Structure 1
């Protein structure tokens, strides 16, 4: 009886069964392929078609790239080495790299100056782009534009110093009178800046640039991808605060300010950028005093900044419109004035909403800097279309040069896009 009873008692395990591995179709590369590329019949067909297109493209481009020639002095020598085989003539990049990056007139012994300015740009932009860094680094950010101007253009150090003192005087006046009257502070800051600049210009002796530490380089000698970077960084940096001011002015309760901003935004957005560049090249000098010679680079910066600021203003206006009315009422309930409410409550939220649109305008603006080649400014595309392809040694080389230009612009624009996505994730404070 005891034996029979012992055989009928259920067995209870004293240890846990080890977990079994998941099926092969539910882990690793197989799972990713099944979920993303072959989840259904339509996706499978599209995946196969895309792989076929990629195969055909690589089948024709890889031999051209891998058989490329890098050490010749002309296109004719490339063709002699290739002897009818498919291959690129990358020798144009190794021989003309300095013209593609710096233009054909910038002094070769001064290449270290724009290189140093580019390295310092990374340090100056870091506390602005990554706001977890110490705020004390913003002091160098404020000084950098004047230091970069002196490095690239050279000449006497008094010019950037006087410009810096003008902005410092404007900031001091604005900070002093901003609590009493915004309009008085704004126009007082402009008057203080111009007073310092005029007085400083009178104190700079004639011929000071000839005995300067860095030899002066005129703007007409700037070129290559360096010119595109300078225009892009300068115009984006200036158009963002101007766009914010235009967006706030368009929503102002003062009719004169509002309609001035509306007319400016709608007019600039309705005119092609290439038209504004021709205006900068031909007509803008007529708006300055007769004896003054306004640099072409400055005129182009003014027009491109106006163009991008109008688009950024509409992007930011959309961010302001997306905020609920309760945010404005909350600012009023705290007893904040207009400037404090905008700086502490409204604009931080509106700018966070507007990040994708602002980055879209910035990327488009950087690519549009290539349009300056139509007004005889030898940027990267201007160098390719002009001096390089016009030479007898490299007449007929297109894909190599244009592919190099596309690669440079892709690296910069892709970096901007990735930073904007990181910033959106970093500022994602809403509930999900």
Structure 2
């Protein structure tokens, strides 16, 4: 292959053109264009982890059902003689020829739970069900936060990619124009190479943004349970003043009250406290022995030919009064009370931090004019034309270009950060506003 002086230039232009051809605007056969709200509905309907976690509630219901049943009675048939000898007495049959010369005993036993153990076990399983429900709610809300954060990051990625793409196209045109100027001797090679280096930097940023996009796409498709070949394109549900005011104007005390009543982590802590209280009640009830009552029939096994009797049995609590388990359950309940209070304090501190952060982000967002991005876009084109017309030096162009580029990214980042902080705040207060 013959290399010429133009070869490196052509390669740079080729790579810039290639990366610019892969954009979010290009419609693919398996492209899924969707609004964030629609994507969330698809996620809630299809996510396999949510479906599996929801089954824990069904399992808890099954355990409540099991706790409600009484112990089964026990039937035993014993002391059946297998042979007769010379000392055996003649035994008449029960009916017909059945059980002639046959000795046996029959006993029916039933366990009676004392100290309301059955009711307390049901109460324990109800507490476990409430824990399962609150755990599911927390899992759902945390997964929604993760999903919404991915959506916000993908939207940020789309906007950044499109902006970098336009800038790469602009620099690509400048590189072509400056190549002609270089050949005519109107500019130095150093100036030309600096401009070409800018194009390579943009190419590198596009590659990094594309890799980040692929990662976001993969995570979203996993959560939504859709085909790996699908390419997701989010329709921008733009931030509006109403949405921003909803967060900035909400009183802190109102958010604090919502967090105290609806925060899923706090609900889990309270459920664990209820479970420990129910467990303590069950352990205390175990101090009282259960009763076993029985009815029995003895055929020719005693002084009576047909003996009918009744009995009762229970453990004597002389050595084991379940003190260890009661003490353990008591300590567990005290521990859960402390952990619940700690969780409440942590949630309030998280709320305070997130509330301040989102207000600061909103304040920064409001510092941008409504047409700020449009103005920056026009200015980037304008300084490119001024560079070609030699009304701007290369250093002035690079300085302005970098400043406009950074401000665009700051705008997109601020908008994304508001959405991320809103996700976090929603999780803390435990509900959507």
Q: TM-score, normalised by structure 2?
A: 0.23
Give the structure, 1 or 2, with the largest relative contact order (CA under 8 Å, sep 6 or more). 2
Q: TM-score, normalised by structure 1?
A: 0.23
Bigger helix fraction: 1
